[in-house]
Amino acid sequence: QVDCSTYPNTTNEEGKEVLACTKSLSPVCGSDGVTYSNECLLCAYNIEYGTNVSKDYDGECKEFVPVDCNRYPNMTNEEGKVGLLCDKALSPVCGTDGVTYDNECLLCAHNLLGFFLQVDCSDYPKPACSLDYMPLCGSDSKTYSNKCNFCNAVV
Say whether domain 69-154 belongs to CATH 3.50.50.60. no
* pLDDT value for 135: 66
Task: Write a three-state SS string for the chain.
Answer: CCCHHHCCEEECCCCCEEECCCCCCCCEEECCCCEECCHHHHHHHHHHHCCCCCEEEECCCCCCCCCCHHHCCEEECCCCCEEEEEECCCCCEECCCCCEECCHHHHHHHHHCCEEEEECCCCCCCCCCCCCCCCEECCCCCEECCHHHHHHHHC
102 confidence band (pLDDT: 50, 70, 90): confident
Distance, in Å, from the CA atom of 9 to the CA atom of 18, rounded to the nearest integer, reads 6
Mean residue pLDDT of the chain comes to: 81
> Which fold would CATH assign to domain 4-58?
Wheat Germ Agglutinin (Isolectin 2); domain 1 (3.30.60)
Give CA angle at 90 (89, 91), nearest 5°.
110
Higher pLDDT, 38 or 84: 38
Q: What is the pLDDT of residues 47-63, one digit of tens each?
A: 988 999 999 999 888 77
* pLDDT value for 114: 53
Determine what percent of the chain is predicted with pLDDT higher than 90.
Answer: 21
Determine what percent of the chain is predicted with pLDDT higher than 70.
Answer: 85
Does 136 score more than 80 pLDDT? Answer: no
Q: What is the pLDDT of residues 106-126, one digit of tens each?
A: 888 887 755 556 667 788 888
Q: Do domains 4-58 and 69-154 have the same CATH topology?
A: yes
- In total, the chain counts a number of residues equal to 155
90 confidence band (pLDDT: 50, 70, 90): confident
Domains of the chain, by residue range, sit at: 4-58, 69-154
Average pLDDT over residues 17-28: 91
